[in-house]
Amino acid sequence: MTLRTRFTDLVGIEHPIVQGGMMWVGRAELASAVSNAGGLGILTALTQPTPDALRREIDRCRAMTDKPFGVNLTILPSVSPPPYAEYRKAIIDSGIKIVETAGHKPQEHVDEFKAHGIIVVHKCTAVRHALSAERMGVDAISIDGFECAGHPGEDDIPGLILIPAAADKLRIPMIASGGFGDGRGLVAALALGAEGINMGTRFCATVEAPIHDNVKQLIVANDERATRLIFRSLKNTARVAASSVSDKVVEILAKPGAVFEDVRPLVSGAKGREALETGDLDAGIIWAGQVQGLIHDVPTCRELIDRIIRDAETILNGRLASLKRA
Amino acid sequence: MTLRTRFTDLVGIEHPIVQGGMMWVGRAELASAVSNAGGLGILTALTQPTPDALRREIDRCRAMTDKPFGVNLTILPSVSPPPYAEYRKAIIDSGIKIVETAGHKPQEHVDEFKAHGIIVVHKCTAVRHALSAERMGVDAISIDGFECAGHPGEDDIPGLILIPAAADKLRIPMIASGGFGDGRGLVAALALGAEGINMGTRFCATVEAPIHDNVKQLIVANDERATRLIFRSLKNTARVAASSVSDKVVEILAKPGAVFEDVRPLVSGAKGREALETGDLDAGIIWAGQVQGLIHDVPTCRELIDRIIRDAETILNGRLASLKRA
């Protein structure tokens, strides 16, 4: 069985399952494995140190799959921002057809991508932001609930509410993100009005994810309660795995008058990358969503996607069909 | 169409929709209307001032419906607790067959209800508490996610994660609570492993709910963001409607060293009851869940339940069926 939706038709994939952009994880190994399995793999632009390195990573991914894949470009406010326009040009020049945008004020990037015929999927965490992105001209929304790894925003609206609330107002297709990892979630997302699911944490615990096995085993071992919200007091909330580092960050920022500078060394991207690559779980912050409570193994991307679709089929044709009485 | 599940079979109802216990709202008018529409209506024991008043309310409900209905008994730690054993005896003596328990250490009550052949549905907000209740001998679990009105616990796990995580471990049937209000949510809950849904806020915005129309219109007008979590710093978190009162409570309790006594007059049950009954929305705390973002009208209970089942049917036989490709 396949599940064909407005989103699979839009981006030309077999299964309505997307691997969301993830810093240090969204490399060619993972993106190509997801795309080869019929989902949509996504490279993370800023994981590459330079726009030229991104060009090479796109070439590398293209050598590993002939299926569609996309590139994530996340725009965060910064005093010394990366050269976004140059990364954007690398994406366009490389002939990428699908981009996932996220973050603040993407209009300039959306305009430029659309001018080059690129399909833009914008990820956001609130209905009002989704409507704003629709007005900007994006082709689809990835709506990200409170359950998610990374930045859930400050509204704390989980997918059960956020997905149907957004579906009631959007005209463009929407996929659901945050809290998804199995066939049950996929059917729930489709019932709530989404046209597919986006998964991050679940794809980190796959054979092909280019991170240390210790991190994959951490996700398998952790239950749904083992995440922490950091940066809440800074109105820049991020959900990460519970660890000695994240507990320390929460503790420091809970002190009156605490500012970001107080935790900067603990939360640096370099330290997070070190944790992912060396498997030293206390080296830095590791992002993880609550869905880790539903993750119990480390399959290949193909095994995972096949299982999700097979389980969704069993739910639709078995459990749900058997409940119906005329 | 009807949807027959392990839960509808257990309690002998037509539709897998339960009206959860709600202080000041769970009276005979609402419970009988829900039961007459094929759901399970529930009276709230402690809304009645005495055990004898509860006996009379049960008689009154029985005069209004010949369908099954239940009684909620919520056990909260208190320095001067209500006479729980006497309320329990009133429930047993009245021949009630279904009880919803909630709160702390229900073992004594579960034992006594089970000794009298009563079906016990225990409401809780964590997988470990659900497993504990299963070991105590309850017949079903009502698992309550972060989205809910009232007490979501301190784990902040939404239904998308909590329902399947609980389903993976429980043997007894489970219904899903928190964030449900329409047919999309019902299908999602069933896909995630629940055997039905419990709704509170949605049933407050019905014709038969015995509360002032101002409160119903507030729920209709509010979006999903218009709730507040109070008592977080006291580890007794409650989700309530955003209002001048709840904003004030949050503000006071955010001050260093603040204690419950500082807000007691603002959050008294009598004041909350006054708000519900007079429609003065600034009189006291009004409980509401995030699902208010999906509530746009004030139907009768029968209209609501019929619509949810009809919409679920359309999703199952229409939208979801049409996505499948061999």
Domain ranges of chain B: 6-210, 213-290
Which helix H or strand E contains B72, and what residues bound it?
A: strand B69-75
What is the C-alpha to C-alpha distance for residues A246 and A229, in angstroms, rounded to an integer?
8
Report chain A's terminal Cα–Cα distance, integer Å: 26
Q: Compute the half-sphere exposure of residue A153: CA atoms within 13 Å on the CB side of its CA.
A: 23
pLDDT in tens, A264-314: 999 999 999 999 999 999 999 999 999 999 999 999 999 999 999 999 999
Distances (CA, A) of A222 to A23, A61, A205: 21, 31, 12
Give pLDDT, residue B77.
80
What is the C-alpha to C-alpha distance for residues A244 and A292, in angstroms, rounded to an integer?
18
Q: Which residue has the tokens 């965490």?
A: A125
Which chain B residues have a beta carbon less than 8 Å from that of A180?
Answer: 160
Give pLDDT, residue B17.
98
What is the C-alpha to C-alpha distance for residues B289 and A178, in angstroms, rounded to an integer?
20
Which chain B residues have a beta carbon less than 8 Å from that of A317?
Answer: 324
Which chain A residues have a beta carbon less than 8 Å from that of B185?
Answer: 160, 164, 192
- Cβ(B32)–Cβ(B69) below 8 Å: yes
What is the C-alpha to C-alpha distance for residues B256 and B244, in angstroms, rounded to an integer?
21
Alpha helices by DSSP H, listed for A97-222, are 107-115, 127-136, 159-167, 183-192, 201-204, 213-221
pLDDT in tens, A180-207: 999 999 999 999 999 999 999 999 999 9
Mean pLDDT over A42-55 rounds to: 98
pLDDT in tens, A2-43: 899 999 999 999 999 999 999 999 999 999 999 999 999 999
When CB atoms are compared, the residue of A155, A158, A290 closest to B225 is: A155
- Cβ(A158)–Cβ(B146) below 8 Å: yes
Residue A261 CB neighbour total at 10 angstroms: 7
Q: Name which CATH class applies to A6-211.
A: alpha beta
What is the C-alpha to C-alpha distance for residues B101 and B118, in angstroms, rounded to an integer?
12
- Cβ(A60)–Cβ(A28) below 8 Å: yes
State the helix-helix crossing angle for B183-192 and A159-167, rounded to 10 degrees.
140
Q: Residue A110 is encoded by which pair of tokens? A: 């959306």
pLDDT in tens, A134-149: 999 999 999 999 999 9
Q: Which one, of A207, A239, A238, lies nearest residue A220 by Cα?
A: A207
Q: Residue B205 is encoded by which pair of tokens? A: 């915005």
* Chain A contact for B320 (CB, 8 A cutoff): yes
pLDDT in tens, A148-172: 999 999 999 999 999 999 999 999 9
What is the DSSP pairing of strand B197-199 with strand B227-230? unpaired
Give pLDDT, residue B326.
60
- Cβ(B174)–Cβ(B16) below 8 Å: no
Q: Which residue has the tokens 């101002």?
A: B214
Query: Would you state the torsion angle of the CA atoms of residues A180, A182, A185, A189, taken in this order, to the nearest 10 degrees?
Result: 80
Q: Which CATH architecture has domain B6-210?
A: Alpha-Beta Barrel (3.20)
Which helix H or strand E contains B308, and what residues bound it?
A: helix B301-314
pLDDT at B325 over 80: no
Give pLDDT, residue B209.
98
Q: List beta partners, residue B100.
A: B72, B121
pLDDT at A79 over 90: no
Distances (CA, A) of A122 to A76, A296, B290, B308: 14, 30, 24, 31
Give pLDDT, residue B189.
98
Phi, psi angle pair for A229, to nearest 5°: -95, 115
Average pLDDT score, chain B: 96
**8 Å CB contact of A158 and B290:** yes
- Long-range pairs for B246-255: beta carbons < 8 A, 24 or more residues apart: B246/B285, B249/B285
* Chain B contact for A63 (CB, 8 A cutoff): no
Predicted confidence band of residue B26 (pLDDT cuts 50, 70, 90): very high
Mean pLDDT over B223-248 rounds to: 96
pLDDT in tens, A225-253: 999 999 999 999 999 999 999 999 999 99
**8 Å CB contact of A147 and B158:** yes
Closest CA–CA distance from residue A187 to any residue of chain B (Å) = 6
Q: What percent of chain A has pLDDT over 70?
A: 100
Average pLDDT score, chain A: 96
What is the C-alpha to C-alpha distance for residues A238 and A178, in angstroms, rounded to an integer?
13
State the helix-helix crossing angle for A159-167 and A127-136, rounded to 10 degrees.
40
- Cβ(B108)–Cβ(B115) below 8 Å: no
* Chain A contact for B326 (CB, 8 A cutoff): yes
What is the DSSP pairing of strand A41-44 with strand B227-230? unpaired
What is the C-alpha to C-alpha distance for residues B53 and B57, in angstroms, rounded to an integer?
6
Least confident interval from A78-82, B54-58, B112-116: A78-82
**8 Å CB contact of A290 and B182:** no
* Chain A contact for B3 (CB, 8 A cutoff): yes
3-state secondary structure of B13: coil
Give pLDDT, residue A326.
62
Interface probe with A: pick from B5, B161, B227, most Cβ of A within 10 Å: B161
Instruction: Give, in degrees to the nearest 5, the angle at Cα A45 between A42 and A51.
Output: 140
